[in-house]
Amino acid sequence: MASQKQFGKNIKKARNKIGFTQKQVADKVEIHVNYYARAERGEETLSMKTLKAVCKVLKVKSSDILDF
């Protein structure tokens, strides 16, 4: 499993790949943009429910985000 910092880098990379802003992802997942931004910086741990929603929005498998 990836460290929190690596996890953040992974979701940021996936987000950038599809051209979304942090706000767009947060809005689609129905979480606050600041919470999502902290997750990208490795400062927050997402719940499984939120992780699944983020992966769906980013069109990636959770295993792709958690592995490095």
pLDDT in tens, 20-44: 999 999 999 999 999 999 999 999 9
Total-model pTM: 0.89
**How many structural domains compose the chain?**
1
Write down the mean pLDDT value for the chain.
93
In contact, 25 and 36? CB cutoff 8 Å: yes
Tell me how far apart the alpha carbons of residues 48 and 21 are, in angstroms, rounded to a whole number.
22
Share of the chain above pLDDT 90, in %: 84
Which CATH number is 17's domain given? Answer: 1.10.260.40
Its domain, for residue 26, covers: 4-66
Q: Please, which residues have CB within 8 angstroms of residue 33's CB and are 6 or more apart in sequence?
A: 22, 23, 26, 27
Mean pLDDT of 32-57: 96
